[in-house]
Structure 1
Amino acid sequence: MRFLPGLLLLLPLLSPLAHAELFDDVFDRGELRIALEADTPPFNFKEGDKLTGFEVELGELLAREMDVRASFITTDDSDLLPGVESGKYDVAINHIAVTAQLQDRFDFSVPYSYANAQMLAKKQQKRLLGNLDTLTSSQFAAKPTEGVDLRNRVDAKATLTLAIPFHKGNPAFKSSLDKALERIKADGRLAALSQKWLEADTSKPTK
């Protein structure tokens, strides 16, 4: 009997319910915490104090479809993915290309965009050059015109699959996120958003 108190202390750790599903956390909070860098137009950036861009509008649509509010957190490269991994953020929506290495660390949503790095780089360069009035010199210098920060070094002509990473082992959350994304694909909202910001429908694989 003298070991019973110790065993009782271990029960929460052994219980399959000890680790709350991300789905439950998000819906208990009523918000989806979305990490992004906010300095890579046209994907996500600031116009004055306002966050905007393709992925900002995408995050708002997804949160609405999931019946929660979108909470955007601006961070940097050193914190973005580690923050998702640690549970500090629920997801990152920051034009992250799916790779085998990242799939070892994260689960991913279904893709929301397909494009090659060269095309995406041109879109970013055009947006940067057309919006110098909304960018500080340090922001412009931090994102030179050689291309989009896609978190991975890839062939410029290779087709990139962009998706949303989140902490591994959350099937209910993945199902909810994927269904929300599929709904905005099915009714054309994702294609329209892509046309608005990227001047092309990148919601389907390129041929």
Structure 2
Amino acid sequence: MKIRKAILFATLSVSAACASFSACAEDLLDAVKARGTLMIGMEGTYPPFDYRDSQGILQGFDVDVARALAAKLGVKPDFYTGEWSGLIGGLQAGKFDVVVNQVTITQQRRQSLDFSPPYAYSAVQVLERKDDKNEYQGLDELKGKRVAVTLGSNFADLAKSVPGIIVQTYPGMSEALSDLVGGRADAYLNDRLFVPYLIKTSNVPIRGGGLLKNTSDEIGIPFRKGNPKFSAAVNEALTSMRNDGTLAAISKKWFGVDVSHPVGN
């Protein structure tokens, strides 16, 4: 009887501990494996990174990276799309497992999320109207200017860090671009990998401005904290994708160059 009571007490103690501490919670990797899918959040309206083709099928650099990651984990990709401003919140709420959408790794984001190693490197570039005689090369030159940025992006944080810049935030790219073209914004900050594609395909009167100094970005895949097995599996998968040439091949497919190495290397 005493042995049974001891076993019962131990079981109840462990259960209580698991209810109080996240250490006993199921690791995200276990949930992904059991489900057989990796739930991936992205905008779906951000070419050439993620967008829908004429048949409604998701295409793009980040889409290919996400599919390759899921394959390395031995599961199928399951995509969820929405505006950028809601992706990180959706991730934290458990609506999906990861976000693969050109998410810059920052110290602020690391406080609430874990990240994979970088799978791409970029920098911040200025977009301007074609008829703008200014040639913005630095943030100081944007003081007193209306600068369009996407809500919740690192571009928004960067613009807000310089006193004197009039920061205008938008839920997505199309709204920001519309105000730039319409003269309601003077400049638009975005990813240097995205700018050439936008200029080539948008058929709107815009041009690329300066590549801002000291704005090299590491692009990673965020997921919720407290999942050490999932973190190790994602790190191993991306390391394998780098070593076997998968990342380089995807990069060259979409950009003509390998963007999986730091800018300038």
Structure-1-length-normalised TM-score: 0.79
Counterpart CA distance in 2 for 1:58 and 1:187 is 13
Q: Which residue of 155, 164, 177 corresponds with 2:221? A: 164
Give the aligned residue type for 2:34: D
Residue 127 of structure 1 aligns with which residue? 197
Q: Deviations over 1:28-84 (max 9, x none)?
A: 101000000011111111112010000001110010011000001011123200111
- Residues 14 and 111 (structure 1), Cα distance of their counterparts in 2 relative to 1, 3 Å cut: same
| Displacement after TM superposition at 1:11 (Å) | 5.8
- Residues 106 and 15 (structure 1), Cα distance of their counterparts in 2 relative to 1, 3 Å cut: closer
| Displacement after TM superposition at 1:145 (Å) | 7.2
Residue 24 of structure 1 aligns with which residue? 30
| Displacement after TM superposition at 1:206 (Å) | 2.5
Q: Deviations over 1:139-172 (max 9, x none)?
A: x9xxx8779xxxxxx9565210000000001110
Maintained 8 Å contact 1:91/1:166: yes
Give the aligned residue type for 1:13: A
Give the aligned residue type for 1:159: S
Q: Are 2:243 and 1:186 equivalent residues in the alignment?
A: yes
- Identical aligned residues as a percent: 33
Counterpart CA distance in 1 for 2:82 and 2:95 is 11
Residue 83 of structure 1 aligns with which residue? 90
5+ residue gaps, structure 1? 134-139, 148-153
Residue 65 of structure 1 aligns with which residue? 72
| The structure with more radius of gyration | 2
- Residues 121 and 97 (structure 1), Cα distance of their counterparts in 2 relative to 1, 3 Å cut: closer
Q: Are 2:244 and 1:174 equivalent residues in the alignment?
A: no
5+ residue gaps, structure 2? 1-8, 127-189
Q: Are 2:116 and 1:46 equivalent residues in the alignment?
A: no
Counterpart CA distance in 1 for 2:102 and 2:207 is 16
3-state DSSP of counterpart to 1:118:
strand
Q: Which residue of 256, 260, 265 corresponds with 1:199? A: 256
Residue 108 of structure 1 aligns with which residue? 115
Residue 145 of structure 2 aligns with which residue? none
3-state DSSP of counterpart to 2:125:
helix
Maintained 8 Å contact 2:29/2:230: yes
3-state DSSP of counterpart to 1:28:
helix
Counterpart CA distance in 2 for 1:52 and 1:174 is 26
Structure-2-length-normalised TM-score: 0.63
3-state DSSP of counterpart to 1:185:
helix
Residue 40 of structure 2 aligns with which residue? 34
3-state DSSP of counterpart to 1:101:
helix
Maintained 8 Å contact 1:118/1:156: no
| Displacement after TM superposition at 1:14 (Å) | 3.5
